[in-house]
């Protein structure tokens, strides 16, 4: 009997203890606190970034125009040369001999022509007195015409020989930076093979060549037609350059050529921009990145970079709904503008995007927006006044 009482008392104490434990259980954790930004469309610059290569604005290949032996190189490799400056000297003796022969042939033709003219002058008096036949007079006229033609031909040969002699001194066709000499003294050069002597590149201004995909060009065109994209002057689009080390180039260029056909192999259209290059900081063949200012989007959307999770399909963000519940939203990413992503699709005005506290956020779970309570209290206080 005593044992039964003791068991009943122990059971009652255990029940009381369990009740006490249940009353002191910790409450569930509060929703994670996050910071949000409210999407507000705004005008943003539409910038297209493309890789490109630098090209000299003018390139002249200096080639031999006569046959001969190189006697001297008259310039320093890798230096600036002026238009018309002598670059190479070719042995001129053969060309000089050809010129002398042509001049002698010209003198002989001129003497023959003068003699034919005198004969014709004498025949004019004789034909009037009928001392010679008409046939003899006509033959004298023909001899004079032939002699004059021979003079013209000989004079042309003299000019050709003089030109060849002039080509013995190879001169720069344009002003620019001379490259490495491709031949040395003693080398035989050929006019028929067009032996390359050196190359001159003009780089005071410079071209940058790049290619744009046909789909991107179509998107720009549709944006302009729909009015979503505003381009003040489509004939002069500004271009900025980013050098290989990431530094911006200090000169602004503009698009000066757009190919009207699409390359079937690559599906791209060729574009070219021209840049001033006063310090010759840009060199032909250099790799750069071009940023083309293709107008302004009137209702663009920017989201901080830290709020976007980049995926293979594009990107995603957490959006806070009306009941402060988090949801994942897929977005189409544009380009990075500073520390923000340009969102091309997936968000609209008024959406609240989570930018801080993302580690604790789970889809479908409630969240607590930082500063929301104080904002509501301030709104209530201002409404009660």
Mapped onto helix, strand or coil, the DSSP state of residue 88 is strand
* Residues 224, 230, 231: CA angle, nearest 5 degrees: 90
- Asked, for residue 287, whether it belongs to a domain, the answer is yes
* Domain containing residue 185: CATH number: 2.40.50.100
| Residue pLDDT, tens place only, 22-69 | 445 567 778 888 899 999 988 888 788 889 999 999 999 999 999 999
Q: How many domains, the chain? A: 3
CA angle in degrees (0–180, nearest 5) for 22-26-28: 120
The confidence score (pLDDT) of residue 197 equals 96
For residue 5, being part of any structural domain is answered with no
Q: How far apart are CA 191 and CA 95, in angstroms?
A: 13
User: Lowest-confidence range among 122-131, 192-201, 266-275, 290-299?
Assistant: 122-131
Assess whether 240 and 314 both reside in one domain: yes
**What is the β-pairing status of strands 33-38 and 368-369?**
parallel
For 145, the domain range is 92-167
More confident residue, 17 or 168: 168
State the average pLDDT over residues 368-372.
75
**Does residue 343 lie in a domain region?**
yes
Tokens of 63: 């080639």
User: Is the confidence at residue 385, as pLDDT, over 60?
Assistant: no
The pLDDT tens digits of the residues spanning 85-136 come to: 999 999 999 999 999 999 999 999 999 999 988 888 888 878 777 777 888 8
- The candidate with the shortest Cα–Cα distance to 253, out of 54, 25, 67, 5, is 54
Tokens read off for 380 = 């209530």
Question: Quick check: is 235 in a domain?
Answer: yes
Residues facing 328 on adjacent strands: 318
Quick one: pLDDT at residue 12? 47
Look at residue 51 in the predicted model and tell me its pLDDT.
Answer: 92
Residue 191 neighbours by CB distance under 10 Å: 14
pLDDT of residue 127: 73
**pLDDT band at residue 146 under the 50/70/90 scheme:** very high
Give the model confidence (pLDDT) of 175-208 as tens digits. Answer: 999 999 999 999 999 999 999 999 999 999 999 9
Measured CA to CA, the distance from residue 366 to residue 321 in angstroms comes to 9
Longest distance between any two alpha carbons in the chain, whole Å: 186
Q: pLDDT at position 205, please?
A: 93
| pLDDT, the chain, mean | 84
* pLDDT higher than 50, residue 354: yes
What pLDDT does residue 125 have?
Answer: 75
Q: 234 and 154: one domain?
A: no
365 vs 358: CA distance, rounded Å: 12
- Confidence category of residue 215, pLDDT binned at 50, 70, 90: confident
Both 50 and 98 in one domain: the answer is no
Query: Residue 374 pLDDT > 50, yes or no?
Result: no
Q: Tokens at residue 297, please?
A: 């989007």
Higher-pLDDT residue of 297 and 34 is 34
Q: Tell me how far apart the alpha carbons of residues 346 and 307 are, in angstroms, rounded to a whole number.
A: 14
Regarding whether 358 and 218 lie in a shared domain, the answer is yes
Q: Is residue 263 part of a domain?
A: yes
SS3 state at 11: helix
E-only strand ranges, the chain: 33-38, 42-63, 68-73, 80-81, 86-90, 169-171, 176-178, 188-189, 196-213, 229-230, 238-242, 253-258, 268-276, 287-304, 309-311, 314-320, 326-337, 340-345, 352-356, 368-369
Same domain flag for 327 and 178:
no
- Domain membership of residue 330 (yes or no) is yes
Q: How far is residue 289's CA from residue 286's CA, in Å, rounded to a whole number?
A: 10
Q: What is the pLDDT of residue 18?
A: 45
The answer on 75 and 125 residing in a single domain is no
More confident call, 17 vs 359: 359
Look at residue 338 and tell me whether its pLDDT is greater than 70: yes
3-state helix, strand, coil in the chain (%, to 5): 30, 40, 30
Task: Mark 157-186 as b/e (b = at least 16 C-beta within 10 Å).
Answer: bbeebeebbebbebbbeebbbbbebebeee
Contact between residue 44 and residue 342 where contact means Cβ atoms under 8 Å apart: yes
283 and 172 housed in the same domain:
no
Same-domain check for residues 150 and 188? no
Residues 308, 336: Cα–Cα separation, whole Å: 11
Query: What's the CATH code of the domain at 312?
Result: 2.40.30.170
Rounded to whole angstroms, the Cα distance separating 130 from 25 reads 151
Whether residue 37 lies inside any domain: the answer is no
**Any domain includes 144:** yes
**354: its two tokens:** 């989570």
CA 347 to the chain's CA centroid:
33
Residues 104 and 210 occupy one common structural domain: no
Residue with tokens 């001899």: 143
What pLDDT shows up at residue 256?
87
Percentage of the chain modeled with pLDDT above 70: 88
Same domain assignment for residues 311 and 256: yes
Q: pLDDT for 81-96, tens place per residue?
A: 999 999 999 999 999 9
Place of tokens 């410079």: 206
If asked whether residues 101 and 211 sit together in one domain, one would say no
Q: Pick 48 or 143 by higher pLDDT.
A: 143
* Residues 210 and 340 occupy one common structural domain: yes
Q: What is the pLDDT of residue 24?
A: 52
CATH number at residue 155: 1.10.287.470
DSSP state of 248: B
Structure-block tokens of residue 52: 């490109």
């Amino acid at each position: 009997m005593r044992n039964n009482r003791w068991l009943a008392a122990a059971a009652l104490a255990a029940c009381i203890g369990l009740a006490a434990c249940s009353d002191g259980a910790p409450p569930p954790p509060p929703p994670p606190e996050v910071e949000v930004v409210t999407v507000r469309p705004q005008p943003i610059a539409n910038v297209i970034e493309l890789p490109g290569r630098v090209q000299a604005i003018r390139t002249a290949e200096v080639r031999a125009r006569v046959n001969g032996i190189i006697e001297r190189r008259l310039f320093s490799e890798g230096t600036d040369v002026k238009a018309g400056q002598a670059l190479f000297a070719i042995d001129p003796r053969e060309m000089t001999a050809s010129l002398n022969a042509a001049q002698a042939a010209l003198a002989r033709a001129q003497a023959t022509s003068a003699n034919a003219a005198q004969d014709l002058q004498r025949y004019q008096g004789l034909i009037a007195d009928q001392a010679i036949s008409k046939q003899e007079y006509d033959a004298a006229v023909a001899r004079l015409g032939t002699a004059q033609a021979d003079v013209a031909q000989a004079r042309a040969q003299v000019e050709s020989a003089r030109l060849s002699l002039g080509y013995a001194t190879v001169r720069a066709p344009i002003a620019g930076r001379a490259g490495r000499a491709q031949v040395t003294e003693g080398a035989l050069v050929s006019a028929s093979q067009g032996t390359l002597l050196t190359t001159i590149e003009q780089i005071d201004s410079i071209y940058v060549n790049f290619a744009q995909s046909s789909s991107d060009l179509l998107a720009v065109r549709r944006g302009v037609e729909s009015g979503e994209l505003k381009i003040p002057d489509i004939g002069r689009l500004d271009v900025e350059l980013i050098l290989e080390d990431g530094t911006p180039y200090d000169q602004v260029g503009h698009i000066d050529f757009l190919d009207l056909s699409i390359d079937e192999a690559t599906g791209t259209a060729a574009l070219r921009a021209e840049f001033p290059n006063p310090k010759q900081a840009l060199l032909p063949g250099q790799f750069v990145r071009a940023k083309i200012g293709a107008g302004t989007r009137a209702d663009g959307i920017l989201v901080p970079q830290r709020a976007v999770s980049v995926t293979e399909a594009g990107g995603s963000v957490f959006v806070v709904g009306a009941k402060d519940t988090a949801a994942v939203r897929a977005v189409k990413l544009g380009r990075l503008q500073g520390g923000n992503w340009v969102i091309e699709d997936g968000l609209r005005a008024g959406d609240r995007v989570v930018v801080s506290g993302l580690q604790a956020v789970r889809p479908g779970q409630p969240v607590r927006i930082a500063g929301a309570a104080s904002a509501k209290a301030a709104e209530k206080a201002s409404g009660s006044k």
